[in-house]
């Protein structure tokens, strides 16, 4: 037993290592990235040779993880919330195949969209898939829950979701660790058809999943992580989920909370405890980080039974993350008095690093696009998305990983000329390749710029699967050799780059331009290491 | 004993080294600690903040409540003002006076300084120059910790232990320079309060 300082992400990773995990799979994404990174830094992981390489995307990661579970070993796949959309096909179906070795799907949500396109709540996905979910409220629970989750996964042969949110993923606190468990032996599923989802088998397994819901509910009712804390004043009962429980308790540091509290950290909801609090209390306040999921469940469509307060009736804001002040206001009606931010304070948006190659790419691109007017550049997600802001204001879209190429294709199909896609190297191997194949098949008139900084920059510089492979991949997908061009995006090459763009715009078909120069951050790190 | 501190600055200025040193000192002093950091998007020259909480009792929230911070430690003057909604009635603002100007509409420095001086409990320190004077420009962050030391509720010797732990790997000279920076910050703050 040792007490260590861990981010929520790191506590989760350490818990998994100590609980005998044999492999972790992930694609980086804030705020989940540090989970796999922690395993990469771990000595034990090295000694045990725990699988800990990055995957091409969340789908390949989830499937590899399921494969490891199939082979009987404990495994975890990690992603940010929108990554679950990419992995959804595997995730939904893995609820039906079930698990063999303990399988955890760790998803870090980002309410308030600190670094994301949306704030979707992964608990809803888990409910959709009918998969049990753990939602830790602190770093210690992140660690401890992994042990329970693996056990439960093996006991009921079901993958388990572990749902984190930004403020837990990226907050550090002391964690007491346990002694490390042995890894599982390789062991194939008892039923050789468990993972064969032919309709006849899938129907049977789906019924099993439905039947198992009762057991999952019982697990939640017995869970050490769900807590009923009685209170004398039954005029109000409070259901607090995950990290929202901390915001509640922050308001009762020095005094007891007079109201009954039901802390939820394991789903499906513990029915008995929910029945108890709703029958005993006149009014129920629901504190949940993310969507009003429980609130909607308890309210029902017609809203004709219970007196429920939360995000839907305006007691709490409908969107954004919670905090201790919002919770206080929801309970007492008191607003917090606070200083204002002086007018002098100006916004300081993130920017391209000095010397970044993306700057040169956009300088050339803006020069060329000035000849055609606005609205021709469909871009993607990464550092290069910063070109949406001044001074460049060069791009017209950023939707989901890979959508640059496919949206540029659709726009070209609609008649937009020129139609330009801008995508990063890691995003390209994440989900740009299939879209490029679509364009090649149809000989779509478009230019794809893969702005290659040879790393996954936005999330801190993880290895990029595209490293030194882009030309080969594009050739393999069928782009004509004469229309795949690499160029070094240096200030001195800006004119040449603009010329190249003009030339490829003039070509009626698919062209790929690959400006390649290493990210200044990863380069700096390499140089200081030497 | 409880201290809620907002650490802030601009991405790349290294506010996390402040958190690491105070954090080490806090844990060594058997205090509970919670520290919420910002990763991702906002690191690229944008504003960054960290909620840093130490206490002798269990800490619940990872976020400091608005109106609850005992102190704002900022390595950049305009940034120190961005987090005023977090500051408590009698809270301290301890900030570097040297601007990090990477935006086109950065306000006049005098206006920023005037706003800081309106706060009852403040220390405005030229931490960059002090660090340069002792021959270690990169120790600006340690000067800032020194300036805040009196109000941290942690023994000064524990902060020195924190520096030894964090910079130990980089050799004795680095350790000594950073301790010197810490002491210089402390000395400045003592004079400033007078
Ligand atoms: C489905 C999904 N997974 C992960 C992310 C997080 N994410 C955003 S950009 C990015 C990396 C982009 O790397 P690259 O394309 O090489 O561009 P760079 O940032 O290096 O310029 C990642 C991992 C996301 N937004 N969506």
ipTM of the complex: 0.95
CA-A453 nearest atom, ligand 1: 20
pLDDT of residue A303: 77
Contact (Cβ atoms closer than 8 angstroms) between residue B148 and residue B94: yes
- Closest-CA residue, ligand 1 atom 3, reads A83
- Mutation site, B1, B40, B170, interface A, largest A CB count within 10 A: B40
Q: pLDDT band for position A530 (50/70/90)?
A: low
Ligand 1 center to A354 CA (angstroms): 20
State the average pLDDT over residues B31-47: 82
3-state SS class at A4: strand
* Cα A254 to Cα B60: distance, rounded to the nearest angstrom: 12
Lowest mean pLDDT among A298-302, A503-507, B90-94: A298-302
DSSP tag of A428: I
A contacts of B68 (beta carbons < 8 Å): 324
Q: pLDDT band for position A218 (50/70/90)?
A: very high
Domain boundaries, chain A: 3-186+197-222, 227-332, 357-526
The pLDDT tens digits of the residues spanning A293-344 come to: 999 999 988 877 789 999 999 999 999 999 999 999 999 999 999 999 999 9
Report the residue from B23, B61, B85 with minimal CB separation from A250: B61
Return the axis-axis angle of helices A33-41 and A8-18, rounded to nearest 10°.
Answer: 50
Report the residue from B10, B33, B84 with minimal CB separation from A174: B33
Ligand 1 center to A104 CA (angstroms): 23
Q: pLDDT band for position A242 (50/70/90)?
A: very high
* Cα A102 to Cα A237: distance, rounded to the nearest angstrom: 36
User: Does residue A347 sit at the B interface (CB-CB below 8 Å)?
Assistant: yes
Measure CA A94 to chain center: 18
State the average pLDDT over residues A99-111: 98
Q: Enumerate the β-bridge partners of residue B51.
A: B6, B36
A contacts of B115 (beta carbons < 8 Å): 342, 344
State the average pLDDT over residues A503-525: 97
Predicted confidence (pLDDT) at residue B41 exceeds the cutoff of 60: no
Predicted confidence (pLDDT) at residue A436 exceeds the cutoff of 70: yes
User: Does residue A523 sit at the B interface (CB-CB below 8 Å)?
Assistant: no
Lowest mean pLDDT among A262-276, A416-430, A503-517, B158-172: B158-172
Classify residue A328 as exposed, middle or buried by CB count within 10 Å of its CB (0-12, 13-18, 19+). Answer: buried
Ligand 1 center to A58 CA (angstroms): 12
A contacts of B34 (beta carbons < 8 Å): 171-173
Tell me the domains of chain B and their CATH numbers.
2-193 (3.40.920.10)
The alpha carbon of residue B21 is apart from the nearest alpha carbon of chain A, in Å, by 13
pLDDT of residue B180: 97
- pLDDT averaged over every residue in chain A: 97
The pLDDT tens digits of the residues spanning B175-187 come to: 999 999 999 999 9
Q: Is A429 left (phi over 0), alpha (psi -120 to 50) or beta?
A: alpha
Report the residue from B34, B85, B103 with minimal CB separation from A172: B34
* Percent of residues, chain A, with pLDDT higher than 90: 97
State the average pLDDT over residues B117-143: 96
* Cα A494 to Cα A514: distance, rounded to the nearest angstrom: 14
The pLDDT tens digits of the residues spanning A159-174 come to: 999 999 999 999 999 9
pLDDT of residue B40: 61
User: Does residue A348 sit at the B interface (CB-CB below 8 Å)?
Assistant: yes
B contacts of A115 (beta carbons < 8 Å): 39-42
State the average pLDDT over residues A242-265: 97
B contacts of A346 (beta carbons < 8 Å): 78, 103, 105-107
For A:231-260, CB contacts with B below 8 A are: 243, 245-247, 249-250, 253
What class does CATH assign to A3-186+197-222? alpha beta
Report the residue from B35, B38, B45 with minimal CB separation from A172: B35
Contact (Cβ atoms closer than 8 angstroms) between residue A440 and residue A477: yes
What class does CATH assign to A357-526? alpha beta
pLDDT of residue A305: 78
pLDDT of residue A89: 98
Predicted confidence (pLDDT) at residue B193 exceeds the cutoff of 90: no
In Å, the largest CA–CA distance within chain A is: 78
Predicted confidence (pLDDT) at residue A396 exceeds the cutoff of 60: yes
* Cα A226 to Cα B89: distance, rounded to the nearest angstrom: 37
- pLDDT averaged over every residue in chain B: 94
Ligand 1 center to A426 CA (angstroms): 7
Q: What is the CATH number of domain A227-332?
A: 3.40.50.920
CA-A381 nearest atom, ligand 1: 9
The pLDDT tens digits of the residues spanning A354-363 come to: 999 999 999 9
| DSSP code string of B42-53 | GGTTSEEEEEEE
The alpha carbon of residue A51 is apart from the nearest alpha carbon of chain B, in Å, by 25
* Percent of residues, chain B, with pLDDT higher than 70: 96
For A:199-218, CB contacts with B below 8 A are: none
Q: pLDDT band for position B38 (50/70/90)?
A: confident
A351/B63 Cβ within 8 A: no
Q: Enumerate the β-bridge partners of residue A516.
A: A452
State the average pLDDT over residues A54-83: 98
Ligand 1 center to A352 CA (angstroms): 15
pLDDT of residue B81: 98
A contacts of B67 (beta carbons < 8 Å): 325, 336-339
| DSSP code string of A305-352 | S--EESTTTTSS-SSS---HHHHHHHHH-PPPP-PPPPTT-------P
- Which residues are near ligand 1 (CB < 6 Å)? A 27-29, 58, 80, 82-83, 86, 381-384, 401, 424-427, 453, 455-459, 464
DSSP tag of A207: H
């Amino acid at each position: 037993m040792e007490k260590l300082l861990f981010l929520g992400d790191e506590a989760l990773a350490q818990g998994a290592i100590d609980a005998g995990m044999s492999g972790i799979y992930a694609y980086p994404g804030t705020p989940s990235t540090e989970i796999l990174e922690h395993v990469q830094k771990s000595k034990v992981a090295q000694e045990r040779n725990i699988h800990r390489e990055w995957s091409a995307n969340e789908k390949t990661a989830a499937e590899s993880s399921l494969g490891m579970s199939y082979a009987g070993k404990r495994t975890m796949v990690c992603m940010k919330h929108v990554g679950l959309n990419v992995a959804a096909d595997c995730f939904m179906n893995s609820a039906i195949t079930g698990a063999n070795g303990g399988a955890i799907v760790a998803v870090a949500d980002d309410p308030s969209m600190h670094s994301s396109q949306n704030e979707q709540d992964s608990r809803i996905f888990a409910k959709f898939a009918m998969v049990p979910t753990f939602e830790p409220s602190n770093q210690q629970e992140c660690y401890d829950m992994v042990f329970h989750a693996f056990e439960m996964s093996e006991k009921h042969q079901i993958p388990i979701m572990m749902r984190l949110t930004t403020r837990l993923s990226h907050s550090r606190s002391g964690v007491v660790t346990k002694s490390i468990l042995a890894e599982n032996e390789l062991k194939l599923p008892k039923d050789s058809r468990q993972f064969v989802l032919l309709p006849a088998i899938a129907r049977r397994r789906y019924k099993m999943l439905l039947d198992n819901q009762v057991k999952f509910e019982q697990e939640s009712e017995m869970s050490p992580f769900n807590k009923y804390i009685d209170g004398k004043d039954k005029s109000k009962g409070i259901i607090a989920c995950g990290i929202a429980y901390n915001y509640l308790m922050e308001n009762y540091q020095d005094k007891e909370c007079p109201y009954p509290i039901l802390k939820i950290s394991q789903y499906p909801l513990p029915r008995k405890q929910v029945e108890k609090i709703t029958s005993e209390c006149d009014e129920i306040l629901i504190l949940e980080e993310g969507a009003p999921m429980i609130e909607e469940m308890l309210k029902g469509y017609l809203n004709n039974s219970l007196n429920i307060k939360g995000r839907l009736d305006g007691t709490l804001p409908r969107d954004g993350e919670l905090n201790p002040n919002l919770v206080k206001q929801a309970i007492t009606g008191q607003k917090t008095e606070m200083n204002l931010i002086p007018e002098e304070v100006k916004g300081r948006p993130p920017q391209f690093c000095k010397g970044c190659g993306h700057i040169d790419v956009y300088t050339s691109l803006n020069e060329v696009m000035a000849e055609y007017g606005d609205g021709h550049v469909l871009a993607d997600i990464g550092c290069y998305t910063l070109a949406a802001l001044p001074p460049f204001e060069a791009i017209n879209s950023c939707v989901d990983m890979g959508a640059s190429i496919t949206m540029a294709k659709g726009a070209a199909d609609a008649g937009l000329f020129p139609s330009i896609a801008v995508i990063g190297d890691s995003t390209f191997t994440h989900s740009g390749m299939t879209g490029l194949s679509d364009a090649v098949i149809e000989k779509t008139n478009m230019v794809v710029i893969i702005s290659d900084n040879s790393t996954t920059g936005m999330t801190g510089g993880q290895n990029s699967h595209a490293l030194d492979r882009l030309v080969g991949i594009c050739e393999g997908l069928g782009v004509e050799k004469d229309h795949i061009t690499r160029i070094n995006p240096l200030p001195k090459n800006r004119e040449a780059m603009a010329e190249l763009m003009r030339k490829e715009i003039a070509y009626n078909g698919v062209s790929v331009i690959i400006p390649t120069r290493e990210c200044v951050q990863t380069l700096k790190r390499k140089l200081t290491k030497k | 004993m409880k201290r809620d501190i907002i650490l802030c600055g601009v991405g790349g200025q290294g506010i996390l080294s402040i958190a690491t040193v105070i954090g080490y000192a806090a844990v060594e002093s058997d205090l509970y600690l919670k520290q919420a950091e910002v990763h991702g998007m906002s690191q690229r020259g944008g504003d960054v903040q960290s909620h840093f909480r130490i206490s002798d009792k269990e800490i619940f929230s990872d976020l400091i409540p608005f109106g609850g911070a005992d102190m704002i430690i900022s390595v950049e003057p305009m940034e120190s003002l961005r987090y005023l909604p977090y500051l408590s009635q009698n809270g301290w603002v301890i900030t570097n006076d040297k601007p990090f100007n990477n935006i086109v509409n950065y306000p006049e420095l005098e206006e920023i300084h005037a706003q800081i001086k309106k706060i009852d409990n403040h220390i405005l320190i030229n931490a960059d120059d002090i660090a340069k004077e002792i021959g270690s420009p990169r120790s600006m962050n340690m000067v800032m910790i020194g300036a805040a030391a009196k109000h941290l509720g942690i023994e000064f010797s524990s902060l020195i232990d924190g520096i030894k732990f964090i910079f130990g790997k980089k050799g004795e000279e680095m350790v000594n320079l950073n301790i010197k920076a810490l002491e210089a910050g402390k000395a400045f703050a003592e004079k400033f309060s007078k």
